[in-house]
Chains A and B, each alone.
Chain A
Amino acid sequence: GAGVSQSPSNKVTEKGKDVELRCDPISGHTALYWYRQSLGQGLEFLIYFQGNSAPDKSGLPSDRFSAERTGGSVSTLTIQRTQQEDSAVYLCASSPAASREKLFFGSGTQLSVL
């Protein structure tokens, strides 16, 4: 599998519960991004990882959101105490160092908070 892999593909949770979304980027891609798409909206930047540099967390909407990237590869996005407005498709993307603007996206995780 050469593409970006995300799991789970769908997640239904109750308001107030914590969720973890996983992303496995393309091997060799140094940059990893999380975006989300709420219904009827464009893709919204959440966080960016590049190698060993400190991540750019400027897009995270609240302190309930956090993300980590272990060993420069797999990333986990965690949402604590989920709210209904967190319902969205969460998309992970990776890109090679040479062309960071050309993102390779995973299929996303559809999160539904009831």
Chain B
Amino acid sequence: DQQVKQNSPSLSVQEGRISILNCDYTNSMFDYFLWYKKYPAEGPTFLISISSIKDKNEDGRFTVFLNKSAKHLSLHIVPSQPGDSAVYFCAARLLELLRGSNYKLTFGKGTLLTVNP
């Protein structure tokens, strides 16, 4: 039972355009969401995160939007660059009753983004 779903295995966009990567989740007890980026033969690297008390978080070209009622989040990359070509993983963490009590992340299967020059 996949609790974090990335339904698009791949996405191709033109350089300079917007890339929108989507993620859906089923567990309403998730309260913190992250995006990781992975290049081939490397480990995933943290990109951006959002707490469930917010609906938007922006960091340079990257913006994550959270729609709690729809259990949906999206990552926007504007403008897209060829160096953004990578696999993007959405991840979620359960609500912490005590700080540090939840540390497991549940990952989606990833979306391969290709940005064409």
Q: How far is the CA of A102 from the CA of B35 in the complex (A)?
A: 10
> A100 to B107, Cβ gap below 8 A?
no
> B109 to A45, Cβ gap below 8 A?
no
Question: Which one of A11-19, A35-43, A62-70 is at the B interface?
Answer: A35-43
Is the CB of B49 closer than 8 A to any CB of chain A? yes
Question: Which one of B52-60, B62-70, B76-84, B98-106 is at the A interface?
Answer: B98-106
Interface size band for A: 20 to 34
> B103 to A101, Cβ gap below 8 A?
yes
Is the CB of B1 closer than 8 A to any CB of chain A? no
Checking A45, A97, A107, A108 against B105 with a beta-carbon cut-off of 8 angstroms, the contacting residue is A45
> B43 to A93, Cβ gap below 8 A?
yes
Q: How far is the CA of A41 from the CA of B5 in the complex (A)?
A: 11
Are A107 and B43 also in contact (CB < 8 A) when A100-B100, A102-B49 are?
Answer: yes
Checking B6, B49, B103, B109 against A50 with a beta-carbon cut-off of 8 angstroms, the contacting residue is B103
Is the CB of A31 closer than 8 A to any CB of chain B? yes
> A42 to B109, Cβ gap below 8 A?
yes
Provide a sorted-by-A list of 22 A–B residue pairs whose CB atoms are within 8 angstroms: A35-B107, A42-B89, A42-B107, A42-B109, A42-B110, A43-B89, A43-B105, A44-B107, A50-B100, A56-B103, A91-B43, A97-B100, A100-B100, A101-B32, A101-B49, A101-B105, A103-B36, A103-B46, A103-B105, A104-B45, A105-B36, A105-B45
